[in-house]
Structure 1
Amino acid sequence: MKFFQSLIILLMFQLTLFVQGQVTFEPDSTFNYKMTKEGDLKMKVFKPSGHSISDKRPVIVFFFGGGWVGGHPRQFYQQARFFADNGYLAVSAEYRVRGKHKTTPFESVTDGKSAIRWLRAHADALGIDPNKIIASGGSAGGHVAACTGVIKGFDEVDEDLKISSIPNAMILFNPVIDTTEKGYGIAKVGKNRKTEISPSHHVVEGIPLILIFHGTADQTVPFENVERFTKLMNEVGNTCELVPFEGKGHGFFNGSYFRKRKTDEIFNKTMNLSLEFLKKHNFKVVE
């Protein structure tokens, strides 16, 4: 009997070590934020410790990458948990993509705008500040996030358009920022519509502040695109900061949870710089 008791204790100890070795990042709750004919769209929500609906916290919403074709919100679960651990409400949102919904990048942009509007409309119930909404994302998701703050129109017609779909700030990871021949995506948006949702072609005064992380060796979204966009933004008086990662390619920013890498050095750097950027521009968390 003592032998079997000892064996059970040993197995339980080994199981505990195994579980501890598998770092997971799971959302605290899930909301449906939009119903479409292609299916409901969800937000995966990560909450700070002790969060209450009486809080007025900044909120950051992430949009996954995947060329407007595929992808999954889990790409940004690690980033979302990081922000939640630092006092922000964090969300990783679904949006329509071609592979699952048979849609185009134009619907993706509309869904991004719907997500911002939904957060602002439900600010009181979520415990967030409707004037401190940060849109973020990588690659095509970075494009969706950028379009919420740069591109006019493409709002869902049956929503309350009196509620703004424009975020108060954007943090973009190797974003698609030019959908013409000079950038990425012309085959998906079409030559006749190549500038309609191309942020670099819609820069005007008054766009919310932006922080961009981009690899200089990106072969998917040329580094020149974000350099040019940053220059255009600053020339008209907007705030746009570009942080280059020398020699890094597309998707360099993903953390160990999503890419199963051995190190989170770059992940930690982008996260810490993001917090510094937001605090500098008064997106501080008030406990």
Structure 2
Amino acid sequence: MKHLLLLPLFLAASAFSQTPAKSKAPDAVDTLAKDLKPSRVLVYKKIAERELQLHVFDPAGFKAGDKRACYLIIHGGGWTGGAPPRMYPFVAHYAKLGLVGISMPYRLHSANTGVSVFDCVKDARSAVRYIRAHAAELGIDPQKIIVSGGSAGGHLAVSTALFDKVNEEGDDLAVSASPNALVLLFPVIDTSKEGYGNAKIGERWQELSPAHNVRAGLPPTLIFHGTGDTVTPFVGAKTFHEAMLKAGNRCELDVNEGGVHGYLMRDKLLFDDTMKKTDSFLKSLGLLP
């Protein structure tokens, strides 16, 4: 299988974040994001007093009733931090290419609030269901939904296709939460003790470990990962990739030799290269004009 490159998305310090973020120097993606604004913001889910909103970037010439492909992306942050603006450069790129681009938030895992990683997964699956159920008003083809994400966001992205038993009470289960393609950026892909997130998920970790739940019939998947990643170890991506191929699924693993966690977010040349490779993948699926 062809080896490409990694798309890391680490999290971001942002006014939208629910938790204080450590200050850091802006990286390439931060710089690209700072002047970007969504076309509209829509509530996709209400939990108690909390409203979760989709940050939508409409393409030029957009109108309700269009049937455009949708590129939905989910931010990283170990399920405990980060915010939608961090991922604006990705959705802005696809809005320029004629897709509806969406960056989404989710409830953040916290022992204090009782939000679990299972709740994070529920939110991601709810978002895909909302988009598919409201496709006409969003100007989206319900059979052309791409879900992407970085790090923990990559875990949530693949969760939309994998974890059919993890659903929000009240969601319409007749509406599929599975996307038509996945683009995973240095994802949390193995939640065992050898991977990432085992302590946060707890004894039920295997229920939320993508590498341990691969089956036939999953969406075409492109994974970007670096061999130098010590946060979400590269071996997990390799294991998942091999399991996908064995199950008869289309899966491409784009390897960056020595790439550390989040490296693609820090270098504009690598970011641009990743977008080109993602474009080619989506064109091969008929999801990009």
Residue identity matched to 1:267 = F
Report whether the alignment pairs 1:92 with 2:103.
yes
Moved over 2 A (4+): 98-102
What's 2:275 paired with?
271
Q: Is the 8 A contact 1:38 1:101 kept in 2?
A: no
Whole-Å separation in 1 of the counterparts to 2:212 and 2:93: 33
Q: What is the CA distance between 1:188 and its match in structure 2?
A: 0.3
Residue identity matched to 2:279 = L
Structure 2: tracts of 5 or more residues without a match: 1-31
Report whether the alignment pairs 1:83 with 2:94.
yes
What's 2:137 paired with?
125
Residue identity matched to 2:286 = N
> Aligned to 2:222, which of 208, 211, 215?
211
Report whether the alignment pairs 1:26 with 2:37.
yes
Q: What is the CA distance between 1:37 and its match in structure 2?
A: 2.1
Whole-Å separation in 1 of the counterparts to 2:276 and 2:251: 17
Residue identity matched to 1:135 = V
Report whether the alignment pairs 1:158 with 2:170.
yes
Q: Is the 8 A contact 2:56 2:103 kept in 1?
A: yes
Equivalences for 1:1-287 in 2 at 5 Å?
Answer: 24-37=35-48, 39-98=50-109, 102-190=114-202, 192-254=203-265, 263-285=267-289
* SS of corresponding position for 1:45: strand
Whole-Å separation in 2 of the counterparts to 1:196 and 1:225: 16
Give the TM-score taking structure 1 as reference length: 0.86
Q: What is the CA distance between 1:252 and its match in structure 2?
A: 1.6
Identity value in percent: 42
* SS of corresponding position for 2:207: coil
Q: State the structure with bigger RCO (CA 8 A, min sep 6), 1 or 2.
A: 2
* Number of equivalences: 257
- Change in 2 beyond 3 A, CA 1:140/1:23: closer
RMSD (Å), alpha carbons: 1.6
Whole-Å separation in 2 of the counterparts to 1:128 and 1:282: 14
Whole-Å separation in 1 of the counterparts to 2:260 and 2:274: 15
- Change in 2 beyond 3 A, CA 1:220/1:23: closer
Q: Is the 8 A contact 2:186 2:262 kept in 1?
A: yes
Give the TM-score taking structure 2 as reference length: 0.86
Q: Over alpha carbons, which structure has the higher Rg?
A: 1
* SS of corresponding position for 1:155: coil
What's 2:7 paired with?
none
Q: What is the CA distance between 1:205 and its match in structure 2?
A: 0.6
Structure 1: tracts of 5 or more residues without a match: 1-20, 255-260
1:15-71 deviation line (CA, Å, top 9, x unaligned): xxxxxx996111111001000126110110011111111311100111100001111
Q: Is the 8 A contact 1:67 1:139 kept in 2?
A: yes
Residue identity matched to 2:285 = H
